[in-house]
Amino acid sequence: MSSNLVGSDPKKRVRFAPSPTGGLHPGNARVAIFNWLYAKHYDADLVLRVEDTDAERSTTDFEKAIIEDLKWLGLDWSEGPIRQSERTKRYSEVLALLLEQGWLYPCYCSDEELEAERQAQLKSGKPPKYSGKCKELARKDAPHVLRFDVAKFTSLKGKKIIEFKDLIKNKDTNSKSSCHTAVIGDFVLVRRDGSPTYNFAVVVDDSDMGITQVFRGDDHISNTFRQLMLFEVFGKTAPEYGHLPMLLAKDRTKLSKRSGGIPIHEYREMGILPTAVFNHLAFLGGMFSDVEETATKEVLVKSFNYKTTAVSASVYDIDKLYSINSKFIAQFAPKELTALMKEENLIPLDWEKLYDQDHFNSIINISKEGAKTLKDVLGIIKIFTSDDIDESCLSGLDEEQKKLLSLVVSELLNEGTLKEGWDAFKTKIKNSTPLTGGKFFKTIRLAITGRSWGPPLDDSVKLISANIIINRAQKLKKLIS
């Protein structure tokens, strides 16, 4: 091959190469975080490469969303974004050399023919691979793809087995990941429209960009064997490869939307903090067993050790994400949390009409306790800033609770600001009803806060505006009358 393919830089260079055919999901985000941690720990370069050769499915909107999500997670990169769609001239140069040296041949098979061939092989118990039937056909002017001749590679290079030491899968053994070339069909390097396929473009890119280590999901292992063959043909040293295990749902099935397999930006909309998403994904695979779940990025970079990564699939537990998020929320000082929620449009803008800063800080403190998300915090804040009522709570009351609710509402409107004091008010109400325990306090809570849940009632009453209590009581009176 030509010497135009740039040799590797002695400095470690890794890359994250998303395909803009969809949003950034947890699996890909985890790969991005892993590469970022590796780059920061080893003072390596991190290249962001957008693999957008699939023109039919790739969109600029997806690319923009992916980059925004990466930045939201706090990731940065040394170079990029470099788009494959802007490197077509380079791919054409390499393609011409491959054709000149006879490594490729045209395949005229339709998708229907290929699928029929595949099904026949499966039915006969054979591993599916392209039969190579177009290899001996005379060239003709018809739509075609270009396939790499694996048999020619095996013959000329004298390699029947392709193998490599996986930085993750083989790290604890002397073994290597291997594949016999006989089971690898002649794979496509150029599509019918002339665009390069993933396996072709990625080898040219990794070689040109001097990538020294490639960390990606283990669904790419079969691609690695094909790419190693191309590096051999190019006469270039391939990167070291490490394949991260897939993420699975708690029931060990494929990660779905229901189990948390959603684009990263949707977590932001749910009120999840970027630090929580980052740490949750960083901790998957067991790399940080002795580090706190809420550790800073600086601590994670310092403690990073890819050699401790588990080789089996990791369980993505969205409840664990909520737990980590709750811990991060609890760490915020009131003013910091207020500023963050204002930035996310999750704070009542008119709270200053009701409370001064110190009073509102106390409300923030009580609201963040045990909150799983920023939206949970907002839900509690609204108890103190809005006279709204969760009307669904009314349907669950029995007759005695309805009587008690009516009594409490009347007393609140009579007492107004609870001038006799909260303890005296509770005593007075207790002496007026046979209800005790949970039913008693749930009913009073509903009258005062408009909900059957929330922070400790004694603490809430001390903080809530008298005007809010009165306005809510007036609304309840209309609802129950």
pLDDT tens-digit series, residues 404-439: 999 999 999 886 556 678 888 889 899 999 999 999
Report yes or no: 224 and 164 within 8 Å, Cβ to Cβ: yes
DSSP string spanning 127-188?
Answer: PP----TTTTSPP-SS--EEEE-HHHHHHHHT-SEEEE--TTTTTTSS--EEEEGGGS---E
Give span(s): CATH 1.10.10, the chain. Answer: 387-481
Handedness of CA 104, 109, 110, 116 (dihedral sign): negative
pLDDT of residue 153: 97
CATH of domain 264-330: 1.10.1160.10
Q: Please list the rounded mean pLDDT of every run of 10 residues in the chain (481 residues).
A: 49 96 95 98 97 91 97 98 96 96 95 92 89 88 95 96 95 91 96 95 97 96 97 96 93 85 95 98 88 96 92 92 98 96 92 94 96 97 95 92 94 74 89 92 94 93 93 93 79
pLDDT of residue 138: 84
Whether omega before 20 lies within 30 degrees of 0, making that bond cis, reads: no
Length of the chain: 481
Please tell us whether the domain made up of 13-248 is placed in CATH 3.40.50.620: yes
DSSP string spanning 438-481?
Answer: HHHHHHHHHHHHSSS--S-HHHHHHHS-HHHHHHHHHHHHHHH-
Report yes or no: 185 and 145 within 8 Å, Cβ to Cβ: no
Look at residues 194, 249, 196, 199 and name the one whose alpha carbon lies nearest to residue 222. 199
What's the predicted TM-score (pTM) here?
A: 0.91
pLDDT of residue 419: 67
The domain at 387-481 falls in which architecture? Orthogonal Bundle (1.10)
Look at residues 148, 146, 168, 170 and name the one whose alpha carbon lies nearest to residue 157. 148
Q: Cα–Cα distance between 408 and 442 in angstroms, integer?
A: 12
Q: Cα–Cα distance between 402 and 404 in angstroms, integer?
A: 5
Give span(s): CATH 3.40.50.620, the chain. Answer: 13-248
Report yes or no: 293 and 327 within 8 Å, Cβ to Cβ: yes
pLDDT of residue 248: 92
- Per DSSP bridges, beta strands 177-180 and 45-50 are unpaired
Q: Cα–Cα distance between 32 and 274 in angstroms, integer?
A: 14
Tokens for 233, please give them: 């043909």
Give span(s): CATH 1.10.1160.10, the chain. Answer: 264-330
Q: Cα–Cα distance between 420 and 244 in angstroms, integer?
A: 64
- How many C-beta atoms lie closer than 10 Å to residue 288's C-beta? 20
